[in-house]
Amino acid sequence: MSFLGIDLGTGSLKVAIVDENGREQAAASVAYALDTPHPGWAETSVQTWWRALCEAAAHLPAGLRREVRAIGFSGQMHGVVLIGADGEAVRPAMLWPDTRALALLDLWPEPQPNPVAPGMAGPLLRWIVQHEPQSAHKTRWALQPKDWLRVALGGVVATDPSDACATALADPAGVWDRALLERLGLPHEWFAPLAPSYAAGGVLSEQAAQALGLRAGIVLATGAADTPCAALGSGLARDGDALLTTGTGGQIVVLAEHTPGAARGLHRYRAASDHWYRMAAMQNVGVALERVRGWLSYEWADAYRDAFGDAFGDASGDTGAAATGLTFLPYLTGERTPWLNPAARGGWLGLALDHTRGTMMRAAFEGVAFSLRAGLDAIRRSGAPVNALKLAGGGSVDARWRQLLADALNVELYAVDCPNAAPRGAAMLGGLASGHWHAGDLAGLAPGATRVAGPRGDAALAGRYARFLDLYGRVETWFGETGCP
């Protein structure tokens, strides 16, 4: 007996099969690109997602696919897919990096239960009503990405609280805010009924089963957003458990048994279980480091070597950065936590003639680490003491980078023995929906975690973090609009 998890991400679709004990048996991934038909737009055709799913499934062993008893879903948060009464997509999906609705954020005056960003479903749908009335007229359902995929596989039209509460159209518990929908001119009939993430949400159709090499009639879980799925797959099960994920962006998630209090710059969302979580969302982690690497014409191995040296004690990276006071702001795409400033931008300050590519690369690593620290400090100020973080994400493997993160964040870091946390979490939801597991089993299914770094009390690094915060405060007014609701 096994369970399939599907993670519908922004730049790739991942699948993983886990066995009845929660151990990963096979995984596959297929990448795709975002479409940007106009500046600031971020879209993907649902057919791109469907082709990626079929290709990824084909990479899984046929024998394991035949043993799958249920499917769970994880999906990128905030975006929206419009489908008509015939079940076909009205237009390409609009995704979270999209900024076309930036001018509409004033329709969500403060205070809001959560920060509102232009790539959330609420602003995007309001933009559709204003600028594409023909699309609005054809729309029967406005679905979250993972919900579109479940429906495409034969499932029911539904969504879960973890996705609904992140649309800027629902209360913190994920219940649709009908008064807000009416004020925005959005038909409440567009929005799917709510079901728990671990509830059964239909069964796999014969047509989809043939396309994926699975058995028809197996249970489809409702599913959850990717961040709570990654938290579930990484073993967060108790109040205070915390996770750092580093990919294109970065998220720090802290599980809570009860509704966290509102705090500026932080999100408080429903988890894939019956918990809640606080989240600091930082937009510029892998995306900033990858762009800097390209600007400096580095291969990754050389970038790490010149920034950090060959070992922790090597002075080639550490001493150079410490001696120069060079500071890098990584906000190449604006920032959410803690600044709530989509207009924020980045760059180096303090450059001198004796600086090298290695010094600039090291400053970039530190700037990204400091942006994560600013997010973690916001969580700490909200009343959640965080002294240890589980660590997940493809951008967090190098030991020197991990040590910098531990020093900058002042935490113990534990690498999770789970390379595909979000699809694993989705598969676990499939196991729950089919009745194989129950909520009380989740803590016992947590993957192993190994301590990989701890804080060394680096006073010089702490001083550079203070300089980083001071620099942002001084230049924030350069960026035009200095914040958003």
Confidence of residue 369 (pLDDT cuts 50, 70, 90): very high
Instruction: Check residues 274 and 413 and name the one with the higher pLDDT.
Output: 413
How distant, in Å, are the alpha carbons of 165, 340, 403, 473 from that of 482? 25, 8, 33, 10
pLDDT exceeds cutoff 80 at 106: yes
The pLDDT of 376-391, averaged and rounded, is 94
Residue 175 sits at φ, ψ, to 5 deg, of -85, 130
pLDDT in tens, 232-246: 999 998 889 999 988
User: Which of 36-40, 188-192, 336-340, 396-400 shows the lowest mean pLDDT across its residues?
Assistant: 396-400
pLDDT in tens, 75-95: 999 999 999 999 999 999 999
So what's the pLDDT on residue 315? 36
So what's the pLDDT on residue 180? 96
The DSSP symbol for 387 reads -
Q: Give the DSSP H or E segment for 54.
A: helix 46-58
Are the C-beta atoms of 331 and 364 separated by less than 8 Å?
A: no
The pLDDT of 135-139, averaged and rounded, is 97
Confidence of residue 320 (pLDDT cuts 50, 70, 90): very low
> Residue 280 pairs with which residues in a beta bridge?
252
Q: How long a stretch of residues is the chain?
A: 485
Q: Name 319's Cβ contacts closer than 8 Å, sequence gap at least 6.
A: none
Q: What is the CATH superfamily name and number for domain 235-417+455-485?
A: ATPase, nucleotide binding domain (3.30.420.40)
Q: Give the DSSP H or E segment for 323.
A: helix 315-324
Residue with tokens 């948060």: 77
So what's the pLDDT on residue 325? 83
DSSP assignment of 166-213, as one string? TTTSB-TTS-B-HHHHHHHT--GGGSPPB--TTSEEEE--HHHHHHHT
Q: Exposed (0-12), middle (13-18) or buried (19+): which is 434, by Cβ within 10 Å? A: buried
How distant, in Å, are the alpha carbons of 88, 119, 135, 248, 308 from that of 139? 10, 19, 6, 31, 53
The pLDDT of 174-202, averaged and rounded, is 96
Beta strand segments in 193-266, E: 200-203, 219-221, 224-225, 242-246, 250-256
What value does the mean pLDDT of the chain take?
A: 92
> Residue 329 pairs with which residues in a beta bridge?
347
Instruction: Check residues 318 and 143 and name the one with the higher pLDDT.
Output: 143
So what's the pLDDT on residue 97? 86
pLDDT in tens, 35-75: 999 988 999 999 999 999 999 999 999 999 999 999 999 99
pLDDT in tens, 409-436: 999 999 988 889 999 999 999 999 999 9
Confidence of residue 440 (pLDDT cuts 50, 70, 90): confident
Dist CA 423 CA 68 (whole Å): 14
User: Which of 214-223, 348-357, 472-481 shows the lowest mean pLDDT across its residues?
Assistant: 472-481
Domain-wise residue ranges, the chain: 2-227, 235-417+455-485
The pLDDT of 11-37, averaged and rounded, is 94
Residue 416 sits at φ, ψ, to 5 deg, of -80, 135
Instruction: Check residues 482 and 212 and name the one with the higher pLDDT.
Output: 212
Dist CA 101 CA 385 (whole Å): 35
pLDDT exceeds cutoff 70 at 316: no
The pLDDT of 328-357, averaged and rounded, is 92
Q: Are 2-227 and 235-417+455-485 the same fold in CATH?
A: yes
So what's the pLDDT on residue 152? 97
So what's the pLDDT on residue 395? 61
Are the C-beta atoms of 60 and 41 separated by less than 8 Å?
A: no
So what's the pLDDT on residue 381? 94
Residue with tokens 């070992």: 311
Count of other CB atoms within 10 angstroms of residue 358: 21
Q: What is the CATH superfamily name and number for domain 2-227?
A: ATPase, nucleotide binding domain (3.30.420.40)
pLDDT exceeds cutoff 50 at 472: yes
Are the C-beta atoms of 70 and 218 separated by less than 8 Å?
A: yes
Confidence of residue 261 (pLDDT cuts 50, 70, 90): confident
So what's the pLDDT on residue 313? 44
